[in-house]
Amino acid sequence: MGFKKEIWSRFFGSKSEQVRDKQVPDHLLQESMEKKEEQAVTAQPPPPAVEVELELPKGHALHKLCEMRAERAKGLSSPRLLLGGREDFSQSELRKELGRLQRVLTLAANSRLKEIKAREEKAQADAQKALLIEQSKQSAAKEDTPAGESAQAEAQKTASAEQSARNEILTPPPIELDAQPVIHISADKLSAWLIVFPPVGEGKDVDREMLYEALSDTGIAFGVDEELLKRLPEERNPYFSLFFLAKGKPARNGTDGRIIEHFERVVERKFEVDEHDRVDYASLHFFQSVEAGGVICEAVLPTPGEPGRTVLDQEVPAKDGKEAPLTKGQNTEISEDGTKLLATQAGHVEYVGKTFQVKAVLEIDDNVDYSTGNINYMGDVHIRGRVCSGFSVRAAGNITVDGVVESATVEAGGDLIVAKGIVGNTDSVVRADGSVFAKYLENSIVHARANLQADCIVNSEVYSDGEIQVRSGRGIIVGGRIRAAKKVSAKVVGSKSESQTRIYLGGEPCVEYERQELAAVIEEAEAELEKLEKRPNSPDKVERMKRLQFDLSVNRIKLEQMDEELAKKQEEIENLGGCRLVADIAYPGLVLTICDIKARLKQVTSMCNARLSNGEIRFS
């Protein structure tokens, strides 16, 4: 009770000073405080309710009704109408509702004044009619009165009675007009407010019967504040104040389903450096392993909507939540209840396209040598030993080598991780369509379509279409040729002995290398085709020429695509502000080429930050 009164007062403002103050009982106040504390602990505080005041012009019919009432109740203040009570209403929505309320009150107040005026006019007319009848009676009585002094006295007495009767008739009895409840229903029919016009004359004050009759007339049958209906007739002056009468139940739409993923879509590559500034490449396993039957992701089912109810006891429909479907990928299946995506075999979880897939991981427990032969695999490969010279490992996914890659051919469709390092020669090439991570590179040819990271690079040919980072461990680049599309960063570049170290920045080195290889293949095929054309005609010649012409056509298309890709890449690099070489110290013997501009470092440079500026390479 007390808590509700406090809320009503906050939403709608205080009433007239004539309204009787009521003290809240202690036990209700205690109950209210306990409810407040419980709500503060168990739920977030509700948003503050907004309220707006309806300001009516001075000549409004409601003010006239209030003035009429003030003649009987001295000190009655003007109505102050605060519309609120809805936490879900925005300020703009409340103002729209305010306009509807004003129209309702204007019609009701004008109708009330019209009825009062009509009753007053009727009372006056009845008085005039009664007066005429009385005058007619008096005239008839005079004609029957005898002459003489007694007659004169009787006439005076009659005249006095006539005047008294006339005064009584001309003062009609007060009209009787009972109090009138007026109910306003919100546009969404989820709220209703009440205002009561006072009685006029000898009319009855508002009572519960009047209130329930008003509810019946408007059809309000849900969410009614029964306590208000009980309390209002007991108020000293319950008129011209706006009360929150009824509150409907808003519809609650169901929550959409969602997918909880137990594996990362993109595995973040984190490199932990120890106290000696070294990276443990043996721990860089980017596999997300799963056992057969393991849960990859699961679906949280949507919830149904909860229909609401208007104050007119009409249902407000609600929308059910949308389902979040599970998508089955390679080597996965959906559980019988449709809530889990399961792995059908053990392997490595990857997110490819729009689905999670499980790719088998080929585990080689020892070296790749004569005991295993060459490896060609469509998934990921994990080699616990080393890759011996003369052998090859090709995989469509990631390749992880716990040992050393010797003079072998290694090609990874994803990333390549070599825990110990790569020691090669000019006969073998290590390639990765992703990134390459190795302890060191020595006398090796390495291609990384993404980035490359190592502790040191010695006398190697490195191609990277991204960035080359040599910042951990010794962080040395010495000798060889280093080509990167964007950036090369190292602690030391070159050596005190001024060993020649060539670094090329810009373009797309891997693509350019492949373009050179493809151009050489095309040139060789064109030469062979030219030789074939000089030979005498034969079925073998015709068949061979058809194959060569087809291969040439395909390779020329590839060459055009590579040229377009290279031009686009170069434009992107220029828009990003060009390429850079960053080194803590760089020694003479460094030859840097950026976009066909070449420069030789002639002195030891600390905190080197080399870049192309105005057509010139600047070492700073």
This prediction has a pTM of 0.54
Please provide the size of the chain in residues: 620
Task: Tell which of 211, 228, 247 closes a domain.
Answer: 247
Question: DSSP H helical segments within 144-180, as ranges?
Answer: 149-170
Tell me, yes or no, whether 215 and 282 share the same domain.
no
Beta bridge pairs of residue 492: 476, 585
Residue whose pair of structure tokens reads 């040598």 in the numeric block: 369
327 and 224 both lie in a single domain: no
User: Both 109 and 200 in a single domain?
Assistant: yes
Pair (34, 80) in one structural domain: yes
Q: 282 and 226, same structural domain?
A: no
58 and 189 inside one domain: yes
In a domain, 386, yes or no: no
Q: How many CA atoms lie within 13 A of 277 on its CB side?
A: 9
Structural domain harbouring 230: 2-115+176-247
pLDDT of residue 579: 87
End-of-domain residue from the set 247, 280, 303:
247
Angle among Cα 498, 500, 504 to the nearest 5 degrees reads: 130
Give yes or no for a contact between 393 and 375, defined as CB atoms under 8 angstroms apart. yes
Q: Could you give the number of structural domains in the chain? A: 3
- The two three-digit tokens of residue 153, written as one number: 């006295």
Residue 542 covered by a domain: yes
What does the pLDDT read at residue 18?
A: 37
Phi (first) and psi of residue 450, to 5 degrees: -110, -120
Burial of 521 (0-12, 13-18, 19+ CB in 10 A): middle
Decide: residue 288, CB within 10 A, 0-12 exposed, 13-18 middle, 19+ buried: middle
Q: Is residue 406 part of a domain?
A: no
Distances (CA, A) of 494 to 458, 478, 602, 605: 10, 5, 12, 11
Domain membership flag for residue 67: yes
pLDDT confidence of residue 304: 94
Does residue 234 lie in a domain region?
A: yes
Q: Over 50: is that where the pLDDT of 25 sits?
A: no
Residue 466's closest CA among 493, 435, 504, 440?
435
Query: Which of 341, 359, 377 is the C-terminal boundary of a domain?
Result: 359
Asked whether residue 494 is assigned to any structural domain, the reply reads no
The answer on pLDDT for 454 being more than 90 is: yes
Residues 28 and 79 in one domain: yes
- Is 233 in the same domain as 338? no
Shared domain for 186 and 296, answered yes or no, is no
Same domain, 68 and 18: yes
- For the segment 131-154, the average pLDDT, to the nearest whole number, is 63
429 inside domain: no
Residue 189 and residue 338 in one domain: no
Residue 586, in any domain of the structure: no
48-63 pLDDT tens trace:
555 677 878 888 888 8
Least confident of 138-142, 147-151, 307-311, 331-335: 147-151
Q: Is residue 208 located within the same domain as residue 275?
A: no
The number of angstroms, rounded, from the C-alpha of 318 to the middle of its chain's C-alpha atoms is 21
Instruction: Tell me the pLDDT tens digit for each residue of 467-515.
Output: 999 999 999 999 999 999 989 999 999 999 998 999 999 888 888 888 8
